[in-house]
A and B are shown apart, each in its own frame.
Chain A
Amino acid sequence: MKREKIADLWSFLILLAGAVFMIAPFIWTVSTSLKNQRMIFDMPPKWIPDPISLDNYRDVWGQSPLLNGFANSLIIVAVVLTVGMLVSAMSAYAFGKFEFPFKGVLFMGLLGTMMIPYSVVMIPQYIGFSTLNWVDTLLPLIVPGLFGNIVVIFFIRQYLQGALPNDLIEAAKIDGCGFFRIFWSIALPTMKPALAAQAALGFMGIWNDFLGPLIYLHTPEKQTIQVLIASMQALYIGQSNYPMIMAAAVIAMVPVIVVFFFCQRYFIESMAISGIKG
């Protein structure tokens, strides 16, 4: 027993040292963002700024339409997640719980899409969306997401296999419950934990997405928060105005970190589960 305790202690100390390395860049970012530009050249590095000033945040906010950026990112996330998750849940239910002709072929075809790198389809997609005059709108970033996502479908299908007994569906059928009502009032509530996990991951993925928004959005007022933040770097790096850049980085990080702290369980569980099943 005593040997176990010593091993615990050593593990804890090593992990703690590692954790310091993991967290230090974040703390340094926040600290820099609260300094004025002259103070960043101080040596040795000062972790606690004196005086603490929020000026950089005010300036960054005034410099760029960040509020629009948040709104745009939020619109994409909200629409894609609500419609996309529902659509994915519906097809996961059909694929997971029923037999129908061509089921295997269709499912394998969809799984194949996971293999297609975005860089291969981004050019033809861009050409297609530009003939529709959708460039510089949010539509190219929203519309493809409305058709569901194969990773989510796969995950929920796996989940349903264990969580929703076929007998329950059969019993509901016998009671005269229609197909859609069985889905809506029996299957959908069963999926809730799996849906929450995938929604948490989806939020992170869409919010942090960069290449797609970078290609399509050109007017600052129409850009997502990530694209705005990235363009801010070009603005300030010439003057080495790191406090401003760090303030921008903090603004970009805060929403995901807040969501993460509230839904931590879902994030980590779904990462682990999708890894093992995959």
Chain B
Amino acid sequence: MNAKLTGYRRKELAWLYLFVAPPVLGFLLFGLAPIVFSIYISFQKWDMLTEPQWVGLGNYNDILNDGKVFISMYNTVYLMIGIPIGMLLSLLLAILMNRKFKGISFMRTIYYLPVISPIIAISLLWQWILNQDYGLLNNYLWDVFGIQGPNWLGDPNWVKPSLILIGLWGGLGANMVLYLAGLQSVSSTYYEAAEIDGAGAWHKFSKITVPLLSPIHFFILVMGVIGAFQTFSQIYVLATDGGPEYSGATIVFYIFQHAFKYFNMGYASAAAWLLGVMIFIITLLQFKLSKRWVYQD
């Protein structure tokens, strides 16, 4: 009996390893191996045509001496201003939507539409809306408020605010759905208890709703920061060659240009590594800090 069981178990184990093998193999082939390889090429000068040349820390040294790295880093971090603004707006939207009335699911669909739309199409349509002379936005700013709108995507001071605006419009729906799900899981007993204690609407919001949703704030924040570090497609469309005075270039755009425009593979890998390490440290830091403010039940 015992021998038969182990026979069955052995067969089962074979199946189990077979079932988990593909993702593990995929991780080794497309995750781990490239990472290790990328450290190696980051110490080389290589254009993929001639033989690679060992330069030691030369690439890292060059990166730290290239002002454009710091500009693109600054731009990338600047764009993160949109994260807290987006969180606040989508939380407010979710609270408004957390009611039962007709047309609510249609409304939810409309807010969600930009989330599913291809970022390339979204970038193109905003490029037209933000056109300085004939764009919809400047037209209405002039007609309704008498304000001469800026050259949104052409003025180095306005490129980043424009990108934030587009990001907010595109991301509100996604965060709203997350908050809505969170709100629906908050037990009404908290609010009932608070009402008995005489709490007003503001107190209920700031002392119950906001803290109880902290796991969702945390999720949006972590994913938002990781996502913002990887901003690329909209920059490629909206800020050709990095935009005026490189004001729209993000760090991934910088890496992309060095790798696939100048074919400076070693240099680009070194920059990618710095980015990877930075994302890792910041994410780790966020998890550590989260113990202080994220409510766990």
Contact = CB atoms under 8 A, between A and B. Distances in A.
A128 to B, nearest CB: 7
A233 B23 contact: no
A252 B120 contact: yes
A19 B107 contact: yes
B23 A272 contact: no
B129 A256 contact: no
Q: What is the interface of chain B mostly: helix, strand, loop, or mixed?
A: helix
Given A44-B139, A230-B236, A268-B108, A100 B16 contact: yes
Contacts of A139: none
Nearest to B126: A25
Nearest to B230: A117
Interface stretch (A51-59, A145-153, A189-197): A145-153
Nearest to B232: A211
Instruction: Give the size category of B's interface with A.
Output: 35 or more
Nearest to B272: A120
B31 interface: yes
Given A115-B279, A119-B272, A268-B177, A90 B19 contact: yes
B212 interface: no
B215 to A, nearest CB: 8
Interface in B104-119: 107-114, 116-119
Nearest to B36: A124
B241 to A, nearest CB: 12
A90 B17 CA distance: 10
A88 B177 CA distance: 25
Interface residues of A, number: 95
A215 interface: yes
Given A117-B229, A128-B34, A249 B177 contact: no
A94 interface: yes
B142 to A, nearest CB: 9
Interface stretch (B60-68, B77-85, B179-187, B190-198): B179-187
Given A117-B276, A123-B269, 20 more contacts: A11-B99, A15-B97, A18-B93, A19-B110, A91-B23, A100-B17, A110-B24, A116-B31, A117-B272, A118-B230, A119-B232, A123-B265, A123-B272, A147-B26, A147-B27, A147-B30, A149-B23, A150-B23, A229-B121, A278-B219
Interface of B: 11-13, 15-17, 19-20, 22-27, 29-31, 33-35, 37-38, 41, 48, 93, 96-97, 99, 101, 103, 107-114, 116-121, 124-129, 131, 134, 136, 139-140, 143, 169, 172-174, 177-178, 180-182, 185, 215-216, 219-220, 223, 226, 229-230, 232-233, 236-237, 251-252, 255-256, 259-260, 265, 268-269, 272-273, 275-276, 279-280, 283
